[in-house]
Amino acid sequence: MSQYDYIDIHSHLNFENFDADREAVIARLKEENIATITVGTSVADSKKAIELAEKYDNVYATVGIHPTHDWSQAEFVELDTLAAHKRVVAIGECGLDFFRLPKEATNPAEMSLADEIQQIKMHQGQAFARHIEIALKYDKPLMIHCRNAYEEAISIISAYQKEHKLGHKLRGNMHFFAGNVEVAKKFLELGFTLSFAGPITFARDYDEVIKNAPAGMIMSETDSPFAAPIPFRGKRNEPPFVKEIVKKIAEIRGEDFETVQKQLVANARKTFAF
């Protein structure tokens, strides 16, 4: 038997959105027997995630630099040190985000738009590779953020797995998964799990993937403070709202609620080894 009733595998309790009442939110989590993984998106908030994980036993941490954030080599040296911490259960969020690329060249006299976009993609790819190396060094999974770049992420991951003969030692989770059944299949074949957030409660685009994924490869998340599920839409999202995600996953799959609830907790504990 697991000690938790639910696990929200991706939240940002470290963000300032929770500065006013963080203690109260975590107390509610504890009351309801819910655990969460608080995700770092920069060196500073990765440190904050670790602080929370040290303080509360139902809060775990990840360390990483979000793909839309700039980075330096020095920051990766720091991240490498943080990654060793025993409360850090994954590396990320990291990955690729080609959703917000520039539409006009910043400095057309110096660089064309196409070259600028190429440079941004390369910069993100380099950061992704650094996270992969840290994950391999500490034998921890990746927490991946991927937007408008699924094929590129698949080719980077599979190249690593093949070239270095790593197999599924290089592993992780696709957070806020929004790809179709075909894309999902490719990540599942690479050994990567898929997690789903608030939008599954109000958009039907995720149903086919949720129905078709193996029971042992899916997880629930809130991505709080963002993207609150029904009936909390428009409000600040919080980890306890993960219950709505679990309910919806059971409903979409047409499976018994308690069975799905237990399975998702077991999947999270297996993926993140706690």
Residues that bind Zn ion (CB under 5 A): 223
CB of 156 to Zn ion, least distance (A): 19
Q: Which is nearer to Zn ion, 116 or 221 (CB)?
A: 221
Q: How far is the CB of 102 from Zn ion (least distance, A)?
A: 23
- CB nearer Zn ion, residue 38 or residue 261: 38
Q: Which candidate, 149, 13, 10, 183, places its Cα nearest to that of 90? A: 10
Nearest distance, CB of residue 116 and Zn ion, angstroms: 26
Comparison of 13 and 260: residue with beta carbon closer to Zn ion? 13
DSSP per-residue codes, 77-114: HHHHHHHTSTTEEEEEEEEEE-SS--SS-SSTTT--HH
**CB-count exposure of residue 70 (10 Å: 0-12, 13-18, 19+):** exposed
Within a 10 A sphere around the Cβ of 237, how many other Cβ atoms? 25
As a whole number of angstroms, the distance between CA 220 and CA 8 comes to 6
The residue (of 45 and 223) whose beta carbon lies closer to Zn ion is 223
Q: Which is nearer to Zn ion, 97 or 223 (CB)?
A: 223
Q: How many helices (H) and strands (E) does the chain have?
A: 9, 8
Residue among 47 and 185 whose Cβ is closer to Zn ion: 47
User: Measured from the CB of residue 93, what is the shortest distance to Zn ion in angstroms?
Assistant: 5
Question: Which helix (H) or strand (E) is 173 found in, with range?
Answer: strand 172-174
Minimum CB separation of residue 128 from Zn ion in Å reads 15
Instruction: Say how far apart CA 160 and CA 70 lie, in whole Å.
Output: 23
Nearest residue to 97 (alpha-carbon basis) of 150, 141, 134: 150
Q: Are 88 and 50 in contact (CB under 8 A)?
A: yes
Alpha-carbon distance of 20 to 267, in angstroms, equals 32
* Nearest distance from C-beta of residue 256 to Zn ion, angstroms: 30
